[in-house]
Amino acid sequence: MLKILSIVLSLLFILPNNQPLNNEIDALNLFSKNYIVYNYESDQVLASKDADIRLQAASINKVLTTITIIDSLAEIPLDQEVIVQATSLNKVPIEASKASLFVGQKLSVKELLYAIILPSGSDAIAVLSDFIFADQAALVKAMNAKATEIGMDNTNIVNIFGLDDKTQYTSLEDLLKLVKYALKNEVFSDVYGMETYNFINNPKLQIENKSLTQAKDLNFNYMYGAKSGYTVAAQRALSSYAGNEDLSYILITTGAKTGPNLTSYAVNDAVKVYNYLFDNYHIKDLSQTEVSNQVKVKWRLQPVKLKHNVNLEAAINDKINLEEISFESVYQEDLKAPLQKGQVIGKDIFTYQDEVIFEKDIILDKSIGIGLTYKIILLLLIISISWITYKILKNLIRK
């Protein structure tokens, strides 16, 4: 079992995966081709399908556009009024979705953010791009820099609107990092969760987040944020956040179809997955008493005794008998002193029926230095090298 876990662990350092839940989600017969499911309470990716492959994400990329703009506001207040210019609107590709802004319209920066997320307004992006960055190229550069900052290592942005481009790509793994990062921002969280909005200077003009309203039409009242998208390559794509009194999740999907009256089957999929999770999964305590292991560390003569506590509350299927969940600590190979406090040195692995269901980083709670014996050896080696160097230099000087 340990060998199997070591092989699995090498993959799970990239992305944890819950195969039982994968099977359960696949049995729901989703329209979406790809998905990733994240649970906040356990800070775990519970299930995923093709989450690491490069793909087109359509207007989900506007989450990156929006948070990049928000983080770039600096001293610009959210209530700063902006006048829509024809030069900005003329820069919007004809195939891009729009918020129907018009020349001379006065909106605050916050309203333009609403116009980006709710109706997926590329025209609002163009206006803010000109207002804050002077041109779209500068915003593209800022978006790529923000992606790097977030850790989106499999993402490249070439246009600010989320339009298909062979050189523009991301992955569900990266999009999850993005949404988690963006939701920590109060301004973004408010915009992401707004269902409808009426402009202050034009109160008869209302914009709508159709993903949120469609979820409510399906009698699902737990979706608290969403950004959808559609392109030929991505098909119907959706990022969303949902939660009830016990659990909260992020779900991101791509590759769904369009239903009757232009409804998004991606929203249908999200509602189906969330309902299944809320009905069948609840938080269970998987915490362990203090775990102690003898671990071989290079530059230490004897194995090091490492102790740590495992505190994990996780979303578990009600059908699973907790007593059948096994646990093991698996440490990284080739650990080498010195090791610093706070360093990740391995994973605590929880398995059920030989499938990994949860993992948690093992964090070193104290620094580990080089062993005394090795210190002496190194010191003698340094002294020997210094002596040899001294003798060589002395002979050269005599000559």
Report domain extents, the chain. Answer: 31-281, 286-363, 372-399
Rounded to an integer, the average pLDDT of 292-308 is 88
Distances (CA, A) of 231 to 48, 50, 164, 177, 256: 22, 19, 7, 22, 11
- Name the pTM for this structure: 0.85
Per-residue pLDDT tens for 311-357?
888 899 999 999 999 999 999 988 998 999 999 999 999 998 888 88
Output helix, strand, coil percentages for the chain, rounded to the nearest 5.
35, 30, 35
Closest CA relative to residue 259, chosen from 293, 214, 223: 214
157, 67 Cβ separation under 8 angstroms: no
Per-residue pLDDT tens for 233-288?
999 999 999 999 989 999 999 999 888 877 899 999 999 999 999 999 999 999 98
What pLDDT is stored for residue 18 in this prediction?
58
As a whole number, the mean pLDDT across the chain is 91
Kindly indicate the confidence band of residue 15, based on its pLDDT and cuts at 50, 70 and 90: very low
Distance of CA 141 to the CA centre of its chain: 20
Closest CA relative to residue 226, chosen from 198, 258, 249: 249
Helices 210-217, 265-280: crossing angle, 10 deg rounding: 60
Q: For domain 31-281, give the CATH number.
A: 3.40.710.10
What pLDDT is stored for residue 399 in this prediction?
64
What pLDDT is stored for residue 271 in this prediction?
98
Helix (H) or strand (E) holding 350: strand 344-352
At 246, list the tokens.
């016990």
Kindly indicate the confidence band of residue 171, based on its pLDDT and cuts at 50, 70 and 90: very high
DSSP 288-346: EEEEEEEE--BT-SS-EEEEEEE--EEEEETTS-GGGEEEEEEEPTT-BS-B-TT-EEE
Kindly indicate the confidence band of residue 166, based on its pLDDT and cuts at 50, 70 and 90: very high
Q: What fold is seen in the domain 286-363?
A: Peptidoglycan synthesis regulatory factor (PBP3), Domain 2 (2.60.410)
What pLDDT is stored for residue 59 in this prediction?
97
**Which amino acid would we find at residue 330?**
V
Three-class secondary structure of residue 20 per DSSP: helix
179, 63 Cβ separation under 8 angstroms: yes
Rounded to an integer, the average pLDDT of 93-105 is 97
Per-residue pLDDT tens for 363-376?
998 999 887 777 77
